[in-house]
Homo-oligomer: A and B are copies of this chain.
Amino acid sequence: MQFGHFDDMRKEYVIDTPATPLPWINYLGNEDFFGLISNTMGGYCFYRDAKLQRLLRYRYHSVPADEGGRFYYIREKGKSAWNPGFLPTRTPLDSYQCRHGLGYTVFDSEKDGLRAELTCFVPLGETCELHDLKLINQGGEAKTLQVYGCVEWCLWNAVSDGENFQRNLNIAESEVEPGVIYHKTEYRERRDHYAYYGVNVPAQGFDTDRNSFLGHMGTWADPQMVREGTSGGSLRVGWYPIACHRLDVTLEPGQSWRCTFVLGYGQNPRERKFIAPGVIRKDAAHRVMKKFASGEAVEAAKQALAAYWGKLLGKFQLQSGDEKLDRMVNIWHQYQCMVTFNMSRSASYYESGVGRGMGFRDSCQDLYGFMHIIPDRARERIIDIASIQFSDGSTYHQYQPLTKRGNNDIGGGFNDDPLWLVGAVCAYIKETGDFSILDHPTPFDNKPGSEAPLLEHIRRSVQFTMTHLGPHKLPLIGRADWNDCLNLNCFSAEPGESFQTFGPSEGPVAESVFIAGMFVKYGGEYAALCR
């Protein structure tokens, strides 16, 4: 399926219509702060963990589809409000373009002679998204506009946010400063972190209460405040907290205008978290707002991001003479691998970011894609993965990125897992020549005191496979091997039983030809490594 084209000069994928059959998404962020953003401005962002520290509320499988994310409205008096990303307003645009680049996304659209260009990215070294908006009046008359920027807060834990209403309808808290709205839910009792949404030009109005902004039975497509061109100044505690700024703008013909919204995460030393009773310390937010106070600073952050990606991808470049192959190998494949490193498939538009954490098997496989780009971080990832292995060589099937501990909900018993670690370590050494990783003291099940050299971990992986054989002397499959979408050796019949961990129903004798094949390959690599 193709809904746009590649712009090779800019290294961007250009989408020419908002009406893609499915949202077409990009990933923002490289270190601790990440965002998912679709070609219609849907998605969400989080700090380190998509389940536990989610900033924006996003409803997977919502109707209308892909609702939630960055809500922007441009309103000219007497006309329907519109959004350069088309949603949520659905107002037809005179032109629309979404460009997904390396770590940023641009919405570049036009309506009634007004052009809007909105660029979203996570600046290097900061825990925030920037939404940089430029307007140009390309018409022949002056325009009186109102610009609304709005986000809806998730109450941090994305699961309880959608389940525990007895609690979460009572806990929301905000603070408002000129141009910056703070989401400090749970801060008083349990937390030393907050989120904020600010804008670097003077704002003329705000709202923090969703129902005030949308109006009774309101929709994101047509908020009451936008329809009326006003703001409620709502300061609601509890219920559904949002952060919304209104900017009044007048543009002469040919005149342009720019502002940058900052959507960020801040945290404080626990012992200094308040500056007055109930008033949170905002140093982190103030520093970031000041840093991006000017368009020049925002522009510099964009350039730095481009340089970062240029350097990362520059380590490995192919000139094959085939334009498409070069593009795939040099840009998009490496970019995908870096995103996979960052997210490890835990958050996307299929993975809701709340369930699985990072897979042992997946993460071992993913290493192959980025160890040449970021060998140091690949090494750290290998140690993280090996640290959830049990002392008998088997392993948790998943771990949480925030805690780096094995996920008890799913446990172990996926018997191909141990051998993937052997493959990953061998591949890492082949790529880097760094044999010293084999000596790295690495715990079992993250237990302090259980550390053993990494070589011992992969020895136990091999041992586990060799000592868990079935009636035909092939490796036992446990709950499943790699083909766990096809062959799950579990069979739950009652509601409430996990389809993935209940059983094994066929008894403890099912064997895996796939694991046997892995053993031939990775057992051989292990033997070669030992030699």
Residues of chain A whose beta carbon lies under 8 Å from any beta carbon of chain B: 19, 21, 49, 52-53, 57, 59-65, 67, 87, 90, 156-157, 159, 162-167, 169, 189-192, 210, 214, 216-220, 240, 270, 349-352, 354-355, 400, 402-403, 491-493, 495-496, 499
Would A218 and B164 count as touching, CB distance under 8 A? no
Considering the chains assembled together, what is the distance between the CA atoms of A63 and B164 in angstroms?
17
Q: List 9 A-B contacts (CB under 8 A).
A: A60-B162, A62-B62, A87-B217, A162-B352, A163-B354, A163-B355, A166-B350, A169-B350, A190-B492
Would A63 and B220 count as touching, CB distance under 8 A? yes
Considering the chains assembled together, what is the distance between the CA atoms of A52 and B499 in angstroms?
13
Q: Given A190-B492, A216-B21, does the pair A162, B49 have CB atoms closer than 8 Å?
A: no
Would B190 and A64 count as touching, CB distance under 8 A? no
Residues of B within 8 A of A214 (CB): 63
Residues of B within 8 A of A63 (CB): 67, 210, 214, 218-220
Q: Given A61-B165, A216-B19, A350-B166, does the pair A190, B493 have CB atoms closer than 8 Å?
A: yes
Considering the chains assembled together, what is the distance between the CA atoms of A179 and B220 in angstroms?
36
Residues of B within 8 A of A350 (CB): 165-166, 169
CB closest chain-B residue, reference A350: B165
Beyond the given A63-B67, A162-B162, A402-B495, could you list 12 further A-B residue pairs with CB under 8 A, ordered by the A residue number? A49-B495, A52-B496, A53-B495, A61-B162, A63-B220, A65-B217, A156-B495, A159-B163, A163-B352, A163-B354, A190-B491, A191-B495
CB closest chain-B residue, reference A496: B52
Q: Which of B164, B491, B492 contacts A352 (CB 8 A)?
A: B164
CB closest chain-B residue, reference A349: B165
Considering the chains assembled together, what is the distance between the CA atoms of A53 and B496 in angstroms?
9
Considering the chains assembled together, what is the distance between the CA atoms of A480 and B350 in angstroms?
39
Most buried by B among A19, A65, A270: A65
CB closest chain-B residue, reference A21: B216
Main secondary structure of the interface of A (DSSP, over half): loop
Considering the chains assembled together, what is the distance between the CA atoms of A496 and B408 in angstroms?
13
Distance in Å: Cβ of A56 to nearest Cβ of chain B: 13
Most buried by B among A159, A191, A499: A499
Q: Given A65-B217, A90-B217, A350-B169, does the pair A495, B52 have CB atoms closer than 8 Å?
A: yes
Residues of B within 8 A of A218 (CB): 63-64
Residues of B within 8 A of A355 (CB): 163-164
Considering the chains assembled together, what is the distance between the CA atoms of A351 and B499 in angstroms?
26
Most buried by B among A61, A62, A87, A159: A61
Distance in Å: Cβ of A525 to nearest Cβ of chain B: 30
Q: Which of B49, B67, B167, B351 contacts A165 (CB 8 A)?
A: B351
Considering the chains assembled together, what is the distance between the CA atoms of A496 and B186 in angstroms?
13
Considering the chains assembled together, what is the distance between the CA atoms of A52 and B220 in angstroms?
31
Nearest first, the 5 A-B pairs at minimum CB distance are A52-B495, A165-B350, A163-B352, A52-B496, A64-B219
CB closest chain-B residue, reference A491: B190
Residues of B within 8 A of A166 (CB): 350-351
Residues of B within 8 A of A157 (CB): 495-496
Residues of B within 8 A of A49 (CB): 495
Residues of B within 8 A of A499 (CB): 167, 189-190
Considering the chains assembled together, what is the distance between the CA atoms of A19 and B349 in angstroms?
34
CB closest chain-B residue, reference A400: B496
Residues of B within 8 A of A220 (CB): 63
Distance in Å: Cβ of A6 to nearest Cβ of chain B: 24
CB closest chain-B residue, reference A354: B163
Considering the chains assembled together, what is the distance between the CA atoms of A491 and B157 in angstroms?
16
Considering the chains assembled together, what is the distance between the CA atoms of A157 and B191 in angstroms?
32
Would B493 and A191 count as touching, CB distance under 8 A? yes
Q: Which of B64, B216, B240, B495 contacts A61 (CB 8 A)?
A: B240
Residues of B within 8 A of A167 (CB): 499
Considering the chains assembled together, what is the distance between the CA atoms of A216 and B18 in angstroms?
11
CB closest chain-B residue, reference A64: B219
Considering the chains assembled together, what is the distance between the CA atoms of A163 and B353 in angstroms?
8
CB closest chain-B residue, reference A87: B217
CB closest chain-B residue, reference A210: B63
Considering the chains assembled together, what is the distance between the CA atoms of A59 and B161 in angstroms?
12
Would A165 and B352 count as touching, CB distance under 8 A? yes
Residues of B within 8 A of A165 (CB): 60-61, 349-352
Would A217 and B19 count as touching, CB distance under 8 A? yes
Q: Given A492-B190, A495-B157, A499-B190, does the pair A217, B162 have CB atoms closer than 8 Å?
A: no
Residues of B within 8 A of A496 (CB): 52, 157, 400, 402-403
Residues of B within 8 A of A352 (CB): 162-165
Residues of B within 8 A of A189 (CB): 491, 499
Distance in Å: Cβ of A66 to nearest Cβ of chain B: 8
Considering the chains assembled together, what is the distance between the CA atoms of A189 and B491 in angstroms?
8
Residues of B within 8 A of A61 (CB): 57, 162, 165, 240
Most buried by B among A64, A156, A169, A400: A64
